[in-house]
């Protein structure tokens, strides 16, 4: 395809995008045509990803802030070029652990087939899925058997997910029928997608293929750290691409004005840390009564970080949402929180509950407190043990800074 063709293609998609974003009658008057028609961004306001002016609109195809049709066109052209020029790396796949359940059925009729009780039990045993609670649906063998919107299925496929992982097999069907869940599965087992799929599906179905008329968020995800929130929001955008599904990220380190501006424009999902969300809710009037799904990701970590009261405050501001709680382990304190939020909670555990990851060898070394640093440095200096990359967990941010400085000085 020549350059001219590409330009035309971009132009026509702009018109379609603009038509979706504003009422047809107002479209030409309201949407700024050229970037110099747009004003400069004030501190804290979103900025156009192309020219840096005030990012008054959100591009439907990329979710980026843009200031005008002109910049939207440039943005889409850039993307069209990069997609055609750059070879994308293949999506990361989870290791297949049991070929019985990871082989695609050539005559995939899993949409219509339902498992007998014995089959369900045997499947759960094989995949080490244990469930506790009333009327838990059987695990699904494919994403297509979940009655998901077509576009969501395409996005799942585009992400390279051919089969659901065990946690997805069990958590997705249960969440889709509105059950509140307490899920534990080891890290990297696909938990994020197991709560995002039901959220994207719910939001897309509520809006019935239309952009939200009421600008109220429908789902909220709380995560303990800024970095986790960024990751989760990124994955949500991928799964919600092309659907009436917009997201807002509410974390520290970014201006609050930009975050509230995005929420006020109308989003389906808010992803944030409890602390920043409370700040935002105290300062601004955000309508939370339409939030029907609340996810607490890494809830054990949130409790360890002292977010219990903030999580409860947020929960009390919602109108009895379905709660999806995810935790690496399920200590008593997590179970207590779960039962205070939902009456009938379904507990789903993948693998052996409360057991450390078998892939990690644990070796305790007993040292006197005074000797601790010396021992750590001996390990870091030893060629036998120090094979980068290596993660050292310390008690505080300051401790991490001091340690990394000391290691840099010592190892050069
Ligand atoms: N069904 C699937 N098929 C193939 N890959 C998948 C599937 N679901 C998720 N993945 C990939 O597996 C990796 C781990 O997934 P994810 O981050 O959701 O795991 P997690 O359990 O949430 O991990 P963590 O506890 O570290 O947050 C990601 O790269 C993700 O893209």
Q: Reading across the β-sheet that carries 129-132, which strands appear in turn?
A: 129-132, 345-350, 180-184, 322-327, 293-296, 219-222, 269-272, 247-250
Q: How confident is the model at residue 95 (pLDDT cuts 50, 70, 90)?
A: very low
pLDDT, tens digit, 9 for 90 and up, residues 38-93 = 887 776 778 888 888 888 888 888 888 888 888 888 888 777 766 544 444 444 44
For residue 168, how far is its CA from the centre of ligand 1 (angstroms)?
10
Closest CA to 263 of 412, 46, 48: 46
CA distance 298 to 278: 18
The alpha carbon of 188 and the centre of ligand 1 are apart by a number of angstroms equal to 5
Query: 167 CA to middle of ligand 1, Å?
Result: 10
* HSE value, Cβ hemisphere, 13 Å, CA-based, for 223: 20
| Ranges 32-36, 171-175, 203-207, 407-411: which has the least confidence | 407-411
Q: Are 260 and 185 in contact (CB under 8 A)?
A: no
Which residue has a Cα nearest atom 29 of ligand 1? 92
Residues with CB under 6 A from ligand 1: 92-94, 161, 163-165, 168, 187-193
Instruction: Convert the pLDDT of each residue in 124-176 to its tens digit.
Output: 998 999 999 888 999 998 999 998 999 999 999 999 999 999 999 999 999 99
DSSP annotation string for 165-183: -HHHHHHHHHHHTT-EEEE
pLDDT tier at 353, thresholds 50, 70, 90:
low
CA angle 319, 147, 135 (to 5 degrees): 60
pLDDT of residue 356: 62
- Hey, what are 251's tokens? 């974390």
Which atom of ligand 1 is found nearest the CA of 231? 17
Per the CB < 8 A criterion, the answer to whether 141 and 101 are in contact is yes
CA-nearest residue for atom 24, ligand 1, is 187
Is the CATH number 3.30.60.220 carried by domain 3-85? yes
CB contact set of 388 (below 8 Å; sequence gap of 6+): none
Q: What is the pLDDT of residue 44?
A: 72
CA–CA distance from 178 to each of 146, 195, 294, 321, 333 (Å)? 13, 12, 11, 9, 24
* The predicted structure's pLDDT at residue 214: 67
What is the pLDDT at residue 193? 97
Quote the ipTM score: 0.96
For residue 245, give the nearest of 406, 47, 63 by alpha carbon.
63
Confidence band for 37, pLDDT divided at 50, 70 and 90: confident
Nearest atom of ligand 1 to the alpha carbon of 91: 31
Atom of ligand 1 nearest to the CA of 159: 31
Q: What's the gap in Å between 66 CA and the centre of ligand 1?
A: 31
Say how many Å lie between the CA of residue 50 and the centre of ligand 1: 31
Please choose from 92, 171, 186, 188 the residue to mutate so as to test ligand 1's pocket, defined by most ligand atoms within 8 A of CB.
Answer: 188
Q: Taking all residues of the chain, what is their mean pLDDT, rounded to a whole number?
A: 80
Q: Which atom of ligand 1 is nearest to the CA of 165?
A: 1
Ligand 1, closest atom to CA 328?
Answer: 25
Closest CA relative to residue 113, chosen from 144, 134, 135: 144
State in Å: Cα 193 to ligand 1 middle: 7
Residues 285-290: contacts with CB under 8 Å, at least 24 apart = 286/217, 286/260, 287/216, 288/216, 288/217, 288/220, 288/317, 288/318, 288/319, 289/216, 289/318, 289/319, 290/214, 290/216, 290/217, 290/218
DSSP code per residue over 232-248: HHHHHHHHTTTSS--EE
Question: What pLDDT, on a 0 to 100 scale, did the predictor assign at position 90?
Answer: 47
Ligand 1 atom closest to Cα of residue 161:
3
> Residue with the nearest Cα to atom 31 of ligand 1?
92
What pLDDT is attached to residue 223? 95
More confident residue, 394 or 222: 222
Strands 65-66 and 57-58: antiparallel
This model's pTM is above 0.95: no
Cα–Cα distance, 262 to 254 (Å, whole number): 13
Top mutation candidate among 193, 301, 360 for ligand 1, by most atoms within 8 Å of CB: 193
Whether 3-85 and 110-350 share one fold: the answer is no
Domain boundaries, the chain: 3-85, 110-350, 369-411
More confident residue, 211 or 343: 343
Does residue 389 have a cis peptide bond before it, meaning omega lies within 30 degrees of 0?
yes
CATH superfamily of 110-350: P-loop containing nucleotide triphosphate hydrolases (3.40.50.300)
What CA–CA distances, in Å, run from 66 to 47, 62, 154, 247?
Answer: 7, 10, 26, 16
User: 3-class DSSP state for residue 293?
Assistant: strand
Nearest CA, atom 1, ligand 1: 164
For residues 224 and 308, the answer to whether their CB atoms sit within 8 Å is no
| Count of C-beta atoms within a 10 Å radius of residue 206 | 17
How many whole angstroms from 90 Cα to the centroid of ligand 1? 14
Asked if the model's pLDDT at residue 408 lies above 60, the reply is yes
CA of 165 from ligand 1 middle (Å) equals: 8
Question: To the nearest whole percent, how much of the chain has pLDDT over 70?
Answer: 80
């Amino acid at each position: 395809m020549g350059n001219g063709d590409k330009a035309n293609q971009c132009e026509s998609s702009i018109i379609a995008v603009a038509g979706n974003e504003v009422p047809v009658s107002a479209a030409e008057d309201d949407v700024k045509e050229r970037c110099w028609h747009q004003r400069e961004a004030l501190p804290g306001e979103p900025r156009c990803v192309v020219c840096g002016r005030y990012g008054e609109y959100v591009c439907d195809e990329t979710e980026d802030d843009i200031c005008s049709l002109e910049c939207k066109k440039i943005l889409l052209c850039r993307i069209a070029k990069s997609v055609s020029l750059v070879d994308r790396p293949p999506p990361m796949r989870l290791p297949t652990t049991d070929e019985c359940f990871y082989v695609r059925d050539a005559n995939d009729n899993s949409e219509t087939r339902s498992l007998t009780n014995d089959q369900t039990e045997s499947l759960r045993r094989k995949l080490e899925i244990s469930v506790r609670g009333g009327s838990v649906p059987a695990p699904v063998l494919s994403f297509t058997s979940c009655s998901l919107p077509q576009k969501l299925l395409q996005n799942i496929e585009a992400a390279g997910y051919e089969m659901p992982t065990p946690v997805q097999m069990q958590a997705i069907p249960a969440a889709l029928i509105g059950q509140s869940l307490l899920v534990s599965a080891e890290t990297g087992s696909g938990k994020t997608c197991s709560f995002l799929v039901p959220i994207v599906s719910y939001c897309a179905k509520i809006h019935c293929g239309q952009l939200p008329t009421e600008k109220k968020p429908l789902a909220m995800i709380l995560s303990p750290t800024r970095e986790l929130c960024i990751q989760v929001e990124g994955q949500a955008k991928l799964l919600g691409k092309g659907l009436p599904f917009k997201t807002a990220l509410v974390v520290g380190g970014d201006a609050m004005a930009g975050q509230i501006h995005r929420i006020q424009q109308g989003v389906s999902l808010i992803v944030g840390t409890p602390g920043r969300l409370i700040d935002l809710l105290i300062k601004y009037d955000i309508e939370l009564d339409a939030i029907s799904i609340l996810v607490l990701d890494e809830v054990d970590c949130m409790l360890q970080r002292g977010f219990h009261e903030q999580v409860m405050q947020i929960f009390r501001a919602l109108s009895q949402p379905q709660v999806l709680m995810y935790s690496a382990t399920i200590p008593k304190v997590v179970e207590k929180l779960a039962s205070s939020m939902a009456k009938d909670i379904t507990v789903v555990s993948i693998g052996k509950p409360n057991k450390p990851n078998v892939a990690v060898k644990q070796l305790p070394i007993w040292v006197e407190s005074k000797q601790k640093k010396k021992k750590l440095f001996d390990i870091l200096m030893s060629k036998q043990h120090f094979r980068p990359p290596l993660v050292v967990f310390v008690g505080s941010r300051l401790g991490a800074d001091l340690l990394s400085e000391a290691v840099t000085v010592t190892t050069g």
